[in-house]
With several copies, the nearest count.
Chain A
């Protein structure tokens, strides 16, 4: 018998059958016992019926990725059993429904097979509650049962389970609280009674939480939406698309913050409406995914030439085209970087964990307003749909920077000191740093124009070659200014020792698997350093050069076919990576395959590793 510090558990089932709630329940039961959680969710582009699954990892340390092999697999139908039974560690456990599958047919003698007679237990509950007639309807309780059964095997205290089940149903279906808590109890007891003596070695017990530490349990879209609220985003447009719409729907369901959310007729409308809103001074944003982003290019270019602060969250999913709409890829980097005909400045950020999802949202609006340009935040499906325990967001230090936006008073003063010949405003006044003072419609004395055409300082169309040249220079200058002003830790982050055996360069959520792998590799004696590029544009060339030049082996790791970031690095620094770790099956990189890949690169100098784990 061994008390685990870390466990991986997986549950699967048809979409719409409650897999997600089961996983959340399992996760929260452990989270409330002090564990750190990472939950990874996989599902089809389908509403009901296709196979989906959810892996929960819990640990006494932070966890940030999934693994290939789990300790326990909870199933209540055959497909999940079939697909996942091979991915349970020897000595682990599989929960299954004995009325559907014979123990001997499972073919895993090296794991503990826990037969949970779901319907029998449910009948028992039904009887207790006088609902014998509704047994079929109560079949959904399999979910709660499988969670309770799993935790029973781990001898995890029942009260934490009961509390979680209770709070889950209290908000969603208050009438069902009692029955489900009782259901959990029955399943729990059933397993305790029948499998107390099983050879299953693992146990889990609540662990202490550092004093004063508060944690929340969130998805990426929730973290991002919360960030937007704090950032002061009060106008959000969207057109439904997986996995971005969750963010907008979350904002919409919280009207108490005053954020207008408009469901548009398409993404063209989404970007144009957000930009139209942004010119009035509201902090405005839109959220989408690849196919929708395709339709936003022209509107973003208009914001670019008109120096309108607008924030675009692109939740990357696996392309090209419709691709794997519910799966993950980091395949939009080069598109985001180069979307639009002609050069215009943009800032591109790539948050890689829940904290960054939250805080980058705040920075994004600050950058957008300070530098008066579109900011693209490259989120992704991996974190959008994953759940994680995160330290309580402490946003007390976050500051709002509205750049050169003029208050009514400032505008009046500016006009006075600059003279105001014709009563119009030089919205695009040439300034050294590229940023001009900015009034908004409704303000006296601020009348200006915007046009998609090249313009003069008032914003009127011009085709004068000299003005054109200066306006291009002015606009692009802002990126130089941004490069100077944005602090190092917002550009890149590094983890691990300087004298590492290799330097892994990555961006976005792939960071999670690498950090997790680094801990394992350290135990093997392999030292890995991680360079996370947080600011993709303007590219932090000198900072990256410095890190790369000190590296023994330079490894690019990203979730796409061609190595987008590796290309961008080489374009900016001339430096090619020694090795690449790529994955493009639509499933996020797992810790264990990352460990293997890095080991092979360090030990066998592999040049390119294509990862493939995950059903």
Chain B
């Protein structure tokens, strides 16, 4: 019995700004989780700190609003301890690509089976609009007194170079498309990164909904006119991100190269959709290879004591014998 979207909502008061792109992402997550066919208790949402970080409180599943930049290690810990859980982590661009960058980079090395959704708004929202790592140099959103002095980093490209097995970009105002991406990400067996273009109308007046969608104000009439949308869908352009045969290194290289070029697009044309996907053993499978018990019972549920007496059921006698001297 699949959940309905409304069952996934909470009555916790939402305090995002009116018109925030975050709402679209929240809706997409609600829809994707509903579409998953799981129950509320089987899902655990994790987040960092920021406007984005509050998300789990509005999703009626187990929710963990953790620390700034640290959503990933928390989420990974939970998933590895109980692989039966569906684990989704959300966070901000400052959160994930700035302070959390060491985890961002090194998580690619593990391919833990979780989905990571980054709310990419170019600013530190909750601390009042300082430049985030994705804001380009020279740009001056209204929250900055002076143009941004730092270059942006390119999270999708970095992910591609860091072992990520599912790399996608969504747009918060294309909720259905984003929902599909999230579902694909969750169903991908491995680490899925979904960077979401998320307008922050309060602080970022450059990367706005209008900008992404090419809506301009007619100078004469002041009316809003549809121009050329910047955002376009990869799948509609005939782009195929999926590596069919991971053992075929040529194919891998080809798919990576085309994805690399796609990660470089910005400005007039901004691709959304899946950029790259490959099948690789996830971390759980790798652990199970070392430790066969892992495939059978999750650490969170592994029995280690007698429930009636409280006595340990673990026997270390063989080990102690190794150390025995008399």
Contacts and interface: CB of A to CB of B under 8 A. Distances in A.
Interface of A: 16, 28, 31-32, 34, 44-50, 209, 213-218, 222, 226, 229-232, 234-235, 237, 239-242, 245, 249, 252-255, 257-260, 262-270, 272-284, 291, 298-299, 302, 321-322, 389, 392-393, 395-396, 398-401, 407, 422-424, 440-453, 459-461
A613 B74 CA distance: 36
B325 interface: yes
B18 A213 contact: no
Contact of B64 (A32, A276, A281): A276
B77 A398 contact: no
B85 interface: yes
B102 A254 contact: no
Nearest to A257: B314
Contacts of A452: 49, 65-67
A279 B78 contact: yes
A441 B62 contact: yes
A453 B312 contact: no
Contacts of B202: 16, 47-48
Nearest to A301: B67
Contacts of B133: 265
Contacts of B99: 239, 265-267
A352 B78 CA distance: 33
B266 interface: no
Nearest to A217: B325
Given A44-B15, A277-B80, A280-B44, 19 more contacts: A48-B18, A209-B326, A226-B316, A229-B314, A231-B312, A240-B130, A253-B146, A258-B293, A258-B302, A260-B81, A269-B70, A269-B73, A269-B102, A277-B78, A281-B81, A281-B300, A282-B299, A299-B67, A423-B40
B82 A449 contact: no
Q: How large is the interface on B (under 10, 10 to 19, 20 to 34, 35 or more residues)?
A: 35 or more
A77 to B, nearest CB: 15
Contact of A424 (B54, B60, B290): B60
Interface of B: 10-12, 15-18, 39-42, 44, 46, 49, 51, 54, 56-57, 60-70, 73-78, 80-82, 84-85, 94, 98-99, 101-103, 105-106, 124-128, 130-131, 133, 145-146, 150, 202, 287, 290-291, 293-294, 297-302, 304-305, 307, 309-312, 314, 316, 319-320, 323-326
Contacts of B54: 461
Contact of A214 (B127, B290, B297, B326): B326
A299 to B, nearest CB: 7
Contact of B290 (A217, A255, A449): A255
Contacts of B150: 263
A315 B167 CA distance: 39
B67 A441 contact: no
A274 B73 CA distance: 8
Nearest to B80: A260
B98 A265 contact: yes
B179 to A, nearest CB: 22
A449 B65 CA distance: 8
Contacts of B80: 235, 260, 262, 273, 277
